[in-house]
Amino acid sequence: MATLSTSNEPFLTRIKESEADKFMQKSVAKAQDAQWEKRPASRKELGHWEDWRNLGEQIRQHVIKYLPDYLEEFSDNVEKRGGHVFFAQTDKDAVAYIKKIAQQKQAHKIVKSKSMVTTEINLDKELLKLPDTSVLETDLAEFILEEDNWDEPTHIVFPTLHKNRDQIRKIFQKLGYKGSNEPGEMAKFARHYLRRSFLEADLGITGCNFAIADQGMINLVTNEGNADLTMAIPDTQVVVMGMERIVPSLKEAEVMDNMLSRSAVGQKLTSYCTFAGPQTADESDGPKDFYVVILDNGRSKALGTDFEPALQCIRCGSCLNVCPVYRHIGGHGYGSIYPGPIGAVLSPILGGYEKFKDLPFACSLNAACTDTCPVKIPLHKLLIKHREVMMDKMKIDHSFNNVLMKGAGVATATPIVFNIALKGGYLGSAPLAKKSKTSVDNFFHYGHIEWAPSLAKGWTDVRSLPRPAKGSENFRSWYKKHQAAKQAQAKEEHDNG
Amino acid sequence: MKVAIFSTCIVDLMFPNIGQAMVEVLERFGCETSFPSKQICCGQPTYNSGYHKETQKVFHNEVDALMSSDADYIVGPAGSCVAMLREYKNLLKDDPQYADKAAAMADKTYEFSQFLYRILGVRDAGAQLDAVATYHRSCHMTRLLRERQAPYELLSNVKDLQVVPLPRAENCCGFGGTFSVKEPQISRQMVDEKVNDILSTKASVLISADPSCLMNIAGRFSRRNEKIKIMHIAEVLNHNVDPARIRFADQPVNV
């Protein structure tokens, strides 16, 4: 259970802990490798993937551009169906409103389906403060986290990616499980355990994959069907959604659902894809009282800025699944419930630079995220943009590195200064250079450096640095001689001819 | 055809052999090369670190330098740096003095293997290398420059060279410019996985079209004392060339 931030430890400590968690690393790598096969295959099956991406981008950009209008349309249509809508400016506003509903309805048994936004506002823990109230997460993975003393999710689609079957078996044994560590058997146990709770629940809380503006309905996609039970059984349902989670109509929802399942899990569609609202006169299931909480919580800060494209996100998690940094540091490394590339973009917007300043730098700009994003968010460019805000506008770096980087700016902009570096690099590096053989001798012609100070230490901490070329043998010197020789040859041919 | 050489700061400082091989191959195919001497760097080190104000001068210097010659094309030996020069079109689009010049520059700038394959139409550069090699497709070359074909095709026609697939080729090697020095703890884990994947191929040569990735991977090989021969694609295509083997796109294979 968490708010946006999942850790108070320094970034470096979190990275070290992630590296020590070999199980987590193996499990993320395995999931990523499997998704590199499944995701492209399921997208290929759809055909014309780039056209779908363009369409997805257009739909999301359009919605964000006219967000106030679509929110109004959606809200009017929910009310026409007899539901209620509450716009929550902050996490506290949202929590207070949902608590009030629980109290009014005298709800004591609350069931929930998976929702990142309820994790963002710390809803479970807040609801548990109400007297005589139980909260049960019914998504299998979230259920495991809850029963493991409310552990943190480490992925937005696969929350327990960091746990293995033996760990899960131990967690279940606390609930009376006596079976093996076989996933099917454990899932059956959880299913039996959860089913009873659905029937007893008096309040259901769900997230929302897409809100359909012209229908006043919400769309949920799951593979377990637990969201459907959460909606169908209790008399009261509360839907919590980020304010950007809207599509104009069912037509656009169809496009987005098609792209979401393929991008998230490499499936053409999830097992359950539900469109629902309050119970109507001719229905026997569904909530009699239907509430939608639309949350801002910092999202509107991105509107009209360079960061607006971040609101296009449909939370498929495919950027996490291709990210080589996430591969090694996992969800825990990011220290945000939104990890990976989208988390590194979104967390500083929602939670501020002070708390999340490290995340935009924890990226090699390899652009795998930008390349896979189904709605074409330029993720790696937004990370560079965050760096610009911090370095150029907020000037947060007062270390010597800052002076060095500015020096690098001068050196790479001024030919005279660069020429000094070119001529002096070899001699200047003499105190550090070693002439001994390396295992890559054909590439490191002029020797190698195994320890360098300051900013370069980051390099030599991990790898050898080739020694710069001799001034007289560098590329420019060679080229000058090469041109002179060619001209001499041409002259000779001319004279002889 | 006149070609201005975009050497890149890393080749200027560290790897003369790469620049040399590129010039020799280009001239073999009849290009008249020139070297605009005021050029320095594409600006990624500072731009990607967030120092955008300081980088404007780097951009301006590079545009002025590379556009100082009357060359038809600008060709460089690094997918990443070339992708950045192409990106100038966007980055300088609101700069009244440089927008047009930057766009004109971007439009005639090519990465070395891309230029051979797409502009000169080379299919077989005539090279020979008796080795088992694997190829690191750099991220910027494939995802930003969107060149996923040229180096593979050209390498596939090098005589006696067997290129074996690199597992998890899609993963970054952990270089990432200043990322490698600012986040060594993460970068190390990335480059280690890359080194392990390369070792798993049993290839004796590692080839790439991006010198910076090669410097990173080579540096880790060296630190781990694992042996490998590192070659830039220009060095491979300049190796033991027999002009009789050279073949262009419009020529059938068996001529």
Q: Which of A198, A197, A174 is nearest to A186 (CA)?
A: A174
Are residues B55 and B112 both part of a single domain? yes
Ramachandran area for residue A317 (φ above 0: left; ψ -120 to 50: alpha; else beta): left
Q: Is residue B248 included in any domain, yes or no?
A: no
Calpha distance A198→A203 (Å, rounded): 9
What residue ranges of chain A have pLDDT lower than 50? 1
Q: Report residue B252's pLDDT band, with 50, 70 and 90 as the boundaries.
A: low
Whether residue B161 has pLDDT greater than 70: yes
Q: What is the CATH number of the domain that holds B180?
A: 3.40.50
Q: Is residue A140 included in any domain, yes or no?
A: yes
Chain A partners within 8 Å of B144 (Cβ): 367
Q: What is the number of CB-based contacts under 8 A between chain A and chain B?
A: 237
Q: How far from B82 is each of A102, B108, B110, CA to CA, in Å?
A: 59, 11, 6
Q: Which of A482, A367, A481, A471 is nearest to A425 (CA)?
A: A471
**Res B64: pLDDT:** 98
Q: Which residues pair with B232 in a beta bridge?
A: B208
Question: What's chain B's average pLDDT?
Answer: 97
Angle at A65 between CA A62 and CA A69, to 5 degrees: 95
Tokens of B237: 């295509």
CB-based contact B168 A33, cutoff 8 Å: yes
Q: For residue A305, count other CB atoms closer than 10 A to its CB.
A: 12
Place of tokens 């077989």: B124
Q: For residue B32, count other CB atoms closer than 10 A to its CB.
A: 12
Are residues B98 and B130 both part of a single domain? no
In A131-261, the DSSP E strands lie at 134-137, 203-206, 210-212, 217-222, 236-242, 246-247
Alpha helices in B76-176 (DSSP H): 79-91, 99-107, 112-114, 139, 150-156
**Res A398: pLDDT:** 84
Are residues A46 and A169 both part of a single domain? yes
Q: Chain B contact for A69, CB < 8 A?
A: no
Q: Is residue B253 included in any domain, yes or no?
A: no
Are residues B107 and B191 both part of a single domain? no
Contact A331, A155 (CB under 8 A): yes
Tokens of B12: 């200027």
Of the residues B59, B84, B117, which one is the last residue of a structural domain? B117
Are residues B132 and B197 both part of a single domain? yes
Of the residues A252, A276, A302, which one is the last residue of a structural domain? A302
Are residues B24 and B91 both part of a single domain? yes
Query: What sign has the CA pseudo-torsion B54, B60, B63, B68?
Result: negative
Calpha distance A329→A20 (Å, rounded): 10
Q: Which residues pair with B34 in a beta bridge?
A: B4
Chain A partners within 8 Å of B222 (Cβ): 438-440, 444, 448, 463-464
Q: Is residue B244 included in any domain, yes or no?
A: no
Contact B68, B101 (CB under 8 A): no
Residue A355 in 3-state DSSP? helix
Q: Is residue A496 included in any domain, yes or no?
A: no
Of the residues A244, A279, A302, which one is the last residue of a structural domain? A302
Query: Of all helices (H) and strands (E), which one includes residue A342?
Result: helix A340-351
Are residues B156 and B129 both part of a single domain? yes
Compute chain A's Rg from CA coordinates: 28
User: B16: nearest CA in chain A?
Assistant: A475
**Res B251: pLDDT:** 65
Q: Which of B52, B189, B178 is nearest to A26 (CA)?
A: B189
Task: Tell me the pLDDT tens digit for each residue of A414-450.
Answer: 999 999 999 999 999 999 999 999 999 999 999 999 9
Are residues B196 and B227 both part of a single domain? yes
Chain A partners within 8 Å of B22 (Cβ): none
Place of tokens 């660069």: A418
The number of domains in chain B is 2
Tokens of A207: 């997230």
**Res A452: pLDDT:** 95
Query: What sign has the CA pseudo-torsion B114, B117, B121, B122?
Result: positive
Are residues B128 and B102 both part of a single domain? no
The number of domains in chain A is 2
Of the residues A259, A280, A302, which one is the last residue of a structural domain? A302
What's phi and psi for A123, nearest 5 deg? -65, -45
Q: For residue B22, how far is the Cα from the chain centroid? A: 10
Query: Of all helices (H) and strands (E), which one includes residue B3?
Result: strand B2-5
Calpha distance B112→B23 (Å, rounded): 10
What's phi and psi for B140, nearest 5 deg? -70, -35
Q: Chain B contact for A471, CB < 8 A?
A: no
Q: Chain B contact for A437, CB < 8 A?
A: no
Q: Is residue B58 included in any domain, yes or no?
A: yes
Measured N-to-C along each axis, helices B79-91 and B99-107 cross at an angle, to the nearest 10 degrees, of: 150
**Res A1: pLDDT:** 38
Parent domain of B147: 124-237
Are residues B137 and B188 both part of a single domain? yes
Calpha distance A211→A276 (Å, rounded): 10
Q: For residue A336, how far is the Cα from the chain centroid? A: 9
User: B56: nearest CA in chain A?
Assistant: A413
Contact A479, B22 (CB under 8 A): no
**Res B163: pLDDT:** 98
Q: How far from A373 is each of A50, A262, B176, CA to CA, in Å?
A: 11, 11, 20
CB under 8 Å to A308, separation ≥6 — which residues? A64, A302
Q: Is residue B243 included in any domain, yes or no?
A: no
Chain B partners within 8 Å of A353 (Cβ): none
Q: Is residue A329 included in any domain, yes or no?
A: no
Query: Of all helices (H) and strands (E), which one includes residue B136?
Result: strand B128-136
Are residues B8 and B108 both part of a single domain? yes
Q: For residue A80, count other CB atoms closer than 10 A to its CB.
A: 11
Q: Which residues pair with B2 in a beta bridge?
A: B32
CB-based contact B48 A466, cutoff 8 Å: no
CB-based contact A458 B189, cutoff 8 Å: no
Judge if ipTM > 0.90.
Answer: yes
Q: What is the CATH number of the domain that holds A152?
A: 3.40.50.10420
Q: Is residue B246 included in any domain, yes or no?
A: no
Give Dmax (Cα) for chain B: 55
Q: Which residues pair with B5 in a beta bridge?
A: B75
Of the residues B70, B90, B117, which one is the last residue of a structural domain? B117
Contact B179, A361 (CB under 8 A): yes
Contact B240, B127 (CB under 8 A): yes
Calpha distance A344→A228 (Å, rounded): 32
What's phi and psi for B163, nearest 5 deg? -100, 115
What's phi and psi for B165, nearest 5 deg? -65, 140
Angle at A180 between CA A176 and CA A182, to 5 degrees: 120
Q: Which of A270, A241, A302 is nearest to A70 (CA)?
A: A241
Q: Which residues of A219-234 are buried (b: 16+ CB within 10 A; e: fewer)?
A: bbbbbbbbbbbbbbbb
Q: How many CA atoms lie within 13 A of A151 on its CB side?
A: 20
Calpha distance B172→A290 (Å, rounded): 47
**What is the layout of strands, in order, in the sheet containing A246-247?**
A246-247, A210-212, A217-222, A272-276
Task: Tell me the pLDDT tens digit for each residue of B100-148.
Answer: 999 999 999 999 999 999 999 999 999 999 999 999 999 999 999 999 9
Of the residues B117, B140, B155, which one is the last residue of a structural domain? B117
Chain A partners within 8 Å of B189 (Cβ): 19, 328
Q: How far from B151 is each of A245, B4, B142, B210, B236, CA to CA, in Å?
A: 42, 21, 10, 11, 11
Are residues A286 and A422 both part of a single domain? no
Residue A370 in 3-state DSSP? helix
Whether residue B186 has pLDDT greater than 60: yes
CB-based contact A463 B191, cutoff 8 Å: yes
Contact B123, A352 (CB under 8 A): no
Q: Which residues pair with B47 in a beta bridge?
A: none
Burial of A154 (0-12, 13-18, 19+ CB in 10 A): buried
CB-based contact B50 A392, cutoff 8 Å: yes
Q: Is residue A488 included in any domain, yes or no?
A: no
Q: Is residue B47 included in any domain, yes or no?
A: yes
Q: Which of B201, B148, B143 is nearest to B172 (CA)?
A: B143
Parent domain of A128: 11-302
Of A362, A445, A456, the CB nearest to B183: A362
CB-based contact A458 B180, cutoff 8 Å: yes
Q: Is residue B242 included in any domain, yes or no?
A: no
